[in-house]
Each structure stands twice: as C-alpha cells, then as structure tokens.
Structure 1
Amino acid sequence: MASGLLALLIFGSLLLFLLLGVPVAFAMGGISLIIGFFFWSGEASIVGFVLGSYGRVLEFTLTALPMYILMAGILRYSDLADDLYEAIYRWFGGIKGGLAAGTTLIGALFGAMVGIATVATATLGVTARPSMLKRGYDSRLVSGVILAGGALGILIPPSILMIIYAMEASVSAGRLFFAGLIPGLLAAIIFMGYAIIISYIKPEMGPALPKESRFSWKEKFQSLKGVILPLLVIIMVLASIFTGLATPTEAAAVGVIGSFICAGIKRKLTWSNIKKMVVMSVKLNGMVFWLLIGAVAYARIVSATGVGTWVANLITDFDVNRWVILIGMQVIFFILGMFIDPGAILLMTAPVFMPMVIDLGFDPIWYGVLFILNACMAYLTPPFGISLFVLKGVAPDIKMQELYRSVIPFVILYAIVIIIVMIFPQLVHWLPDRIMG
C-alpha cells in the first residue's frame, strides 16, 4: 500500500477511535496490532509489539515515574498547601490582587513538588478558592489563577511529563529539568503581574485586606515556617541532581524520602492517608504505563511501515522557512490540546515530529520546553482541558461556562510565554549550560 494511504489509515483510524471515546492507550495499541497484522508482518508483528512494549516499560529511566507519582500522593495528603497559603495570605493579602498572585506562586511551588498539574489544581481548589471568594475576589480571576498556576507543575521540575519526553527524545532528563525552570518562573511572574494589574484596574476583582485585618511583621515571618518543608523537598531533589549524588531517576527516590519526612513532621502518616496515597499512586501509574505501552506499539508501526519518514520528508521538503513548520507544530499542539491529554499528545506526535525537529536543526531540549508549555496550556484549554474538570470536581458550584471564560486570559498569557521562549532560546539553555556544562 502507498505510504500516503497507509498514513491516512493509521492517523485517520486513531482520530476516529478517539472521537468514538475509546481510551487513547487502547486506541493506539489496538490500531497498531491490527495494521501491523494486515500490512506489516502478520503474527510476527504482534510478538514484536508485545516484546517492544515490555522492554520499554522495564527501562531504568521509567523507574522515576512511579517514584514521582508516589511523591505526589504523599504531598497531596500532607496538607502542605494549607501552610503555604497561610504564608501567602499574610504576606500578600494587603495588596490588591495579592491573594490571586500568591495563589499562582503556591501553584508553582506545589507543582514543583508533585510534578502533576491536576494534583496542584485540586489542592488549590480546596484550599485557596474558598478563602479568596470569602474575601470578595472575582470568581473568574480565582479560577483562572488556580488553573494556570496548577498547570505549571509539569514545567517546573521535577516533572513526570518531562521524564516521558526525555525518554521519547533520547535527551537528558536532568538538562530538561533545569531547562524548564526559568521559563516556568517567567510564566509565574507574568501570571502574578496580570492578577495584580487587573486588580488595580478593577479593584472589585481582587480587593486588598482592610488595614485592621492585616498582619504584623512578626506574624508574617512566623508564617514562613510553613514554606520550609515544601522548599526542603524541592531542594533535596534538585540538589541531589546538581551535586551528582543522584541521577534524575534516582532523585525521585530522594523526593519520596523527603515527602515521607514532611508527612511525618505534619503527622499525616495515618492509615487513612497512607491508603489514599497508595490508591492515588496506583491509579496514576496504571494510566501512565498503559499509555506508554500503547504508544510504543504505535510508534513502532509508524516507524516500521515508513509512514513517519514519509510524513517528515513530505513536510521538510516544502520550500518554506523552518520556523513556519515549527509554528505549525505549535498550532497542532494547541488544537490537539483542546481534546486530548498532553501525555497522549506527546506519545502520538513524537514518532513523526521528533525526526522533523532534528532534521530542521532545532535543539530537542529547547523544543521539549516548548512542548511542555503547550502541554500546560492544554490542561486548561476548552472544551476538554483536564484541569477544568478537576476544578469543577472539587468546586461543583462553578458553572462550566464560567470556567471556560476564566481561562481565556491565561491561555493568551501562556501563548505569549511560548513566543518569548521561541524568540529567546537562551532562556532555556542558560541554566542547564551553567549547571551541567
């Protein structure tokens, strides 16, 4: 069969299965088995897919995934976000929009600890949202900063999605961790600036605490005790990589130990909490590894049939500037992000896009940060952004129409950050070059 028809069959059938509601992992795996059987090498293709998937999930790099997911589960049920919010409330409450800006900062910090956007979003939806609404903050601004700040969890290291990208692109997870730090902080600063500026323009959206309700300097400094434990976890993970004591994979175990210490200090290691931690970890691990299994089979069929090479050559042979192609990739990510989980987008597009990125002469680490920024945006892009439904789940009083409207400014701000990173790639390269050489 001609490569063009085979490409249409492979990609078209995947799109059809997704529209029919088939889970992404089973859609990719099932299509690969069927097409491999009929158009590649019959029963031998099935054996090849099984052995290939089995070999991939046993790779040492992926050991970090269950560790970081367990770390997220421990931190999720340790109530560290409550202490963080109390500190932010005392320091920023006297500024117009200060609590909204502070919530973005908490999202960045908590996301850096757990590496999963949905965990940070759910936690902030339970802790920060009622407090801000009680103090007269605009509901849309509150929802927007929670969703945008929570999504930073996959950009500021450690990040589970970064580990999967590093595996797919055959790049250093450690370099990718440090590469995402400055863009992540830049995004957080832009979100904080927006919250404060819009609150000064429209004071009713983010009123400051009245003077009689503000805290003394002594009370402010006392609240900083709640920031020590979260920072301890982040420093333990990144310092173990920076000093060479652990690889990014081994650093996941360091993070788990730090998380257990924090939970113990907070006296949250009860049987009830331990059960919740384990259940959350097992569920997320199962989802991630089924995605990986299906993606390995899908990548194998795209590669073995020559479809990936055919599509890459078709696009790179166009007489257009390589930046036009790169921008086209960002548009595709944006469209897919409205309907599909970012992890699935990565595993679906990697077999085709990664060879193109290399052929066009772009750095895969820099491209990886661009993808992660797109993934952050995908978590809150209507109509099916995952974080939208997570926040709706913990705050059922919110109307979906209001949620959709609340994220529009932050989707635009994420797009601005992507453009800035594209124009100034040194924002990505400077830190890993200084730290890792």
Structure 2
Amino acid sequence: MGIILAASTGIIGASVVLLGVMSVPIMLRQNYDKPLALGTVAASGCLGILIPPSIMLVIMGDQLAIPILDLFMGAVFPGLILGGLYIVFILGYCKIFPDKAPLAVDHKEVNLKDVGRALIDILPPAALILMVLGSIFMGIATVTEASGVGALGATLIAAFYKNLSWKVLKDVVVNTMNTSAYIFAIFVGATIFALVLRECGGDELIEEALTGLGFG
C-alpha cells in the first residue's frame, strides 16, 4: 500500500498520515508488535520522496536545472526495488518471529474470489498512476500538465464511488493551496539563504574547507 500511495501522492506527509490512519489501528488491534507496525508505516510512507511523482524530485530538478523527466525515470526502479526489499524484510521477519505479527483470531482462508476482489479494488488507483506517469514518460504531457490529468482522474474516481461532494472539493482545494504555499515557501527560503550565503562568502569558505581535507 505504501508503494501505491507514494506513486499516487508524491508527498511523504500524505502517505504516512493515510497509512497511519488506515493501517496502524488495525495492526495494533490484531496484536502486532508496535515497533513493527510503526516502522512499517514510517518506512513505506517515506517511499513518497523517491517514487514519482515525488515533490522532492520536482524541487530538486528546478534547483539543479535538471530535466524533471530524467529524475522521474531514474527514480522509478530504485523506488520499486526499495519497496520490494521492505516487503521481503517484513515477510522474513514475520517468518522468523511469528509472534510479532500473529494471525487474527477470526481470520479466513484466502480464496480466488478474495484475490479477485482485491485486484478490482486496486485497479482505480493503479489506473490513476498509469495515467499520470504514463503521460509523462511517453512525452504526452509535462509534469505540470500531468498533475492536471491526475486531478481529473482522482475526481472521476471519487465520482464513481459516490464520494464527490462540495465539502470534499472544498477540502481538496484548501489542502492543495496549503501544499502549494509550503512549496513556494521552501523556494523563497532556499533562494534567500543561497543569496545571503554567497554574499557573506560562505560558498568559498565551504569550498576551501572541503579542498583542505586532503582526500583528493
């Protein structure tokens, strides 16, 4: 779920909050080990900083004058590999220490019907991810245009599940405004800090300190 949320939001805070609200109470209610439950949420939620469309990659591309598309394409497989390693570690840990993640008392055997239902539930967010990242990687849309594609897709999914209302739209607009304000605040703060550092000779001081270490 952390991988799906990372590819859907691109923001660590949103992924961690959603995972914490949805997963932690259930895991603790099933007597999961608390460090395991919280560590799983924290680690998988942080995949949002690496898996596109990561906000961090957008900011990095702007500051370093690197094409954002190249950063996205270079971060996809490392993010998926890291997520896969998380899965392998958790499965191995639970296999060695089964008491850390016990089965529910009322658990049922998984059948093909349950698997099919789970796959159907995953289809909408998976389609949304493919719409956004596919339009970017295929050169159909820029990153900014792809965000509009993602917003349209999320709106259609909410309407399909009958969760779309004026209150939901209002909350989305307010949260989007807050996130945009945070990003612009980072841009302004980073620019001011860089100007002050350069005017005070801080960049030369750092360069001299690094070259004086003698490590070649």
Same fold (TM over 0.5): yes
**Residue in structure 1 matched with residue 71 of structure 2 by the alignment:** 176
Q: Is structure 2 residue 92 aligned with structure 1 residue 191?
A: no
SS, match of residue 320 in structure 1? coil
Picking from 94, 102, 126, the partner of 1:207 is: 102
Q: Is structure 2 residue 128 aligned with structure 1 residue 251?
A: no
Q: Is structure 2 residue 183 aligned with structure 1 residue 288?
A: yes
Q: Is structure 2 residue 23 aligned with structure 1 residue 131?
A: no
SS, match of residue 23 in structure 2? helix
RMSD of aligned alpha carbons: 1.8
Q: Does structure 1 conserve the Cα–Cα contact (< 8 Å) formed by 2:73 and 2:137?
A: no
Inter-partner Cα distance in structure 1 for 2:14 and 2:211: 39
Quote the offset at 1:313 in angstroms: 3.8
Quote the offset at 1:317 in angstroms: 4.5
Quote the offset at 1:113 in angstroms: 0.5
**Residue in structure 1 matched with residue 60 of structure 2 by the alignment:** 165
**Residue in structure 2 matched with residue 389 of structure 1 by the alignment:** none
Deviations 1:328-354 (A, max 9, x none): xxxxxxxxxxxxxxxxxxxxxxxxxxx
SS, match of residue 213 in structure 1? coil
Inter-partner Cα distance in structure 2 for 1:273 and 1:212: 34
**Residue in structure 2 matched with residue 111 of structure 1 by the alignment:** 6
**Following superposition of structure 1 onto structure 2, how do residues 267-286 of structure 1 map, counting pairs within 5 Å?**
267-286=162-181
Quote the offset at 1:226 in angstroms: 1.0
Deviations 1:350-393 (A, max 9, x none): xxxxxxxxxxxxxxxxxxxxxxxxxxxxxxxxxxxxxxxxxxxx
Inter-partner Cα distance in structure 2 for 1:255 and 1:171: 23
Quote the offset at 1:224 in angstroms: 0.9
Picking from 200, 216, 226, the partner of 2:121 is: 226
Inter-partner Cα distance in structure 2 for 1:251 and 1:316: 43
Quote the offset at 1:209 in angstroms: 5.1
Quote the offset at 1:208 in angstroms: 3.6
Quote the offset at 1:303 in angstroms: 2.6
Q: Does structure 1 conserve the Cα–Cα contact (< 8 Å) formed by 2:16 and 2:42?
A: yes
Quote the offset at 1:170 in angstroms: 0.8
Inter-partner Cα distance in structure 1 for 2:141 and 2:64: 21
Amino acid corresponding to residue 120 of structure 1 in structure 2: S
**Following superposition of structure 1 onto structure 2, how do residues 14-413 of structure 1 map, counting pairs within 5 Å?**
106-208=1-103, 213-321=108-216
Deviations 1:203-228 (A, max 9, x none): 11012457961221122112211111
SS, match of residue 136 in structure 1? coil
Inter-partner Cα distance in structure 2 for 1:263 and 1:192: 29
Inter-partner Cα distance in structure 1 for 2:104 and 2:79: 29
Inter-partner Cα distance in structure 2 for 1:212 and 1:197: 21
Task: Work out which structure has the larger RCO, using CA pairs closer than 8 Å and 6 or more positions apart in sequence.
Answer: 1
- Relative to structure 1, the CA distance from residue 212 to residue 230 in structure 2 (aligned partners, 3 Å threshold; closer, same or farther) is closer
SS, match of residue 14 in structure 2? helix
Q: TM-score, normalization: structure 2?
A: 0.92
Inter-partner Cα distance in structure 2 for 1:237 and 1:313: 44
Deviations 1:24-60 (A, max 9, x none): xxxxxxxxxxxxxxxxxxxxxxxxxxxxxxxxxxxxx
- Relative to structure 1, the CA distance from residue 317 to residue 247 in structure 2 (aligned partners, 3 Å threshold; closer, same or farther) is farther
Amino acid corresponding to residue 53 of structure 2 in structure 1: P
Q: Does structure 1 conserve the Cα–Cα contact (< 8 Å) formed by 2:24 and 2:38?
A: yes
Quote the offset at 1:135 in angstroms: 2.3
- Relative to structure 1, the CA distance from residue 248 to residue 309 in structure 2 (aligned partners, 3 Å threshold; closer, same or farther) is farther
SS, match of residue 224 in structure 1? helix
Quote the offset at 1:187 in angstroms: 1.4
Quote the offset at 1:318 in angstroms: 3.2
> Percent identity among equivalent residues?
30
- Relative to structure 1, the CA distance from residue 254 to residue 212 in structure 2 (aligned partners, 3 Å threshold; closer, same or farther) is closer
Structure 1 segments of 4 or more deviating over 3 A?
Answer: 208-212
Amino acid corresponding to residue 176 of structure 2 in structure 1: S
